[in-house]
Chains A and B, each alone.
Chain A
Amino acid sequence: MHQEDSDQAKAYQQLVKSNQPKKPIVKNVLLAFLYGGMISLVGQGIQVAFIVGGMSKEDATSPTTVVLIGLGALLTGLGWYDQLTKHGGMGATLPITGFANAMVAPAMEFRREGLVMGVGVKLFTVAGPVLVYGLSAAFVVGVVRYLVTGVA
Chain B
Amino acid sequence: MSITQIGQGSYEIQDVSVAATAAIGGPKEGQGPLGSYFDEIWPSETHKGESFEEAERALTEDTMELVVKKANISWEDIDLVMGGDLLDQLVSTNFSARRHQRPLLGLFSACAVFTQGLGLAATMLSDKGPRSVLVTAVSHHMAAERQFRFPIELGYQRTPTAAWTATAAGAVVLVAGARHPVGIEAVTFGRVVDFGSKNPNDMGSAMAPAALDTIQRHCAATATTLQDYDAVYTGDLGVIGIKLLTLLGGERGLNIDERVRDCGQSLYHLVEQDVHNGGSGPGCSASVFSGYLYRRLQVGQWHRLLFVATGALFSPTTYQQGESIPCIAHAVSLTHREPGGTTL
Interface residues in chain A, defined as those with a beta carbon under 8 Å from any beta carbon in chain B: 2-5, 8-10, 12-13, 15-16, 19-23, 28, 76-77, 79, 81-86, 89, 92-93, 98, 101-102, 104-106, 108-110, 112, 125-126
Interface flag for B193 (CB, 8 Å): yes
Given the known A-B contacts A10-B196, A13-B196, A16-B205, are A89 and B153 also in contact in the complex, defined by CB atoms under 8 Å?
A: no
Any A CB within 8 A of the CB of B195? yes
Determine how close the nearest CB of chain A comes to the CB of B242; give it in whole angstroms.
11
Q: Which 5 pairs of residues, A with B, have the shortest CB-CB distance?
A: A85-B155, A109-B151, A9-B196, A105-B154, A105-B153
Find chain B residues with CB under 8 A from A76 CB: 153
With CB as the reference atom, state the residue of chain B lying closest to A111.
B51
Interface contact A82-B244, CB-CB below 8 Å: no
- Known contacts A15-B244, A16-B205, A19-B244; A28 and B154 CB within 8 A of each other: no
CA distance A93 to B157 in the complex (A): 10
Distance between B315 CB and nearest chain A CB, rounded to angstroms:
16
Can you name 16 A-B pairs with beta carbons within 8 Å? Answer: A4-B196, A4-B326, A16-B197, A16-B244, A23-B159, A28-B157, A82-B152, A82-B154, A82-B155, A85-B156, A86-B156, A98-B155, A106-B151, A112-B51, A126-B150, A126-B154
Contacts A4-B194, A12-B196 given; does A109 touch B146 at CB 8 Å:
yes
Give the chain B neighbours of A21 by CB distance below 8 A: 160-161, 239-240
Q: How far is the CB of B195 from chain A (nearest CB, A)?
A: 4
Complex CA gap A81/B157 in Å reads 12
Chain B residues numbered 134-173 whose CB sits less than 8 Å from any CB in chain A: 146, 150-161
Known contacts being A3-B194, A16-B197, is A101 close to B243, with CB within 8 Å?
Answer: no
Interchain nearest-CB distance for B156 vs A (Å): 6
Contacts of B240 in A (CB 8 A): 19-21
Would you give the 0/1 interface string for B66-82, flagging 1 where the beta carbon is closer than 8 Å to chain A?
Answer: 00000000000000000
Within 8 A of A (CB), among B156-213: 156-161, 193-197, 202, 205, 209
- Rounded to whole angstroms, the CA-CA distance of A83 and B157 in the bound complex is 9
- Cβ–Cβ contact A79 & B243, under 8 A: no
Q: Is B248 an interface residue (CB 8 A)?
A: yes
Q: Count contacts on B: residues with CB < 8 A to the other chain.
A: 31
Residue of B nearest to A78 (CB): B153
Contact with A along B226-245 (1 / 0, CB 8 A): 00000000000001100110
B58 within 8 A of A: no
Nearest-neighbor residue (CB-CB) of A24 within chain B: B160
Give the residue among B156, B158, B243 with the most A Cβ atoms within 10 A: B156
Taking the closest CB of chain A, its distance from the CB of B249, in whole angstroms, is 12
| Residues of chain B within 8 A of A125, CB atoms compared | 151
The CA-CA distance from A101 to B224 in the complex, in Å, is: 54
- Bound state CA distance, A125 and B121, in angstroms? 41
A30 to chain B, nearest CB (A): 14
Q: Within B299-330, which residues are at the interface with A (CB < 8 Å)?
A: 324, 326
Contacts of B88 in A (CB 8 A): none
Closest residue of chain B to A32 (Cβ to Cβ) is B157
Q: Note all chain A residues with C-beta closer than 8 A to B153.
A: 76-77, 79, 81-82, 101, 104-105, 108-109
Q: Which residues of B contact A84 (CB under 8 A)?
A: 155
List residues of chain A with CB within 8 A of the CB of B157.
28, 85-86, 89
A92 to B326 Cα, complex, angstroms: 35
**B254 lies within 8 A of chain A by Cβ:** no
Name, among A3, A86, A92, the residue most crowded by chain B CB atoms within 10 Å (CB to CB). A3
A81: contacting residue among B155, B161, B239, CB under 8 A: B155
Q: Are A3 and B156 in contact (CB under 8 A)?
A: no
Contacts of A85 in B (CB 8 A): 155-157
Question: Which residues of the other chain, B, contact A3 by a CB distance below 8 angstroms?
Answer: 193-195
Distance, CA A15 to CA B197, complexed state (A)? 11
Q: Give A130 Cβ to nearest chain B Cβ, in Å.
A: 13
Contacts of B209 in A (CB 8 A): 12
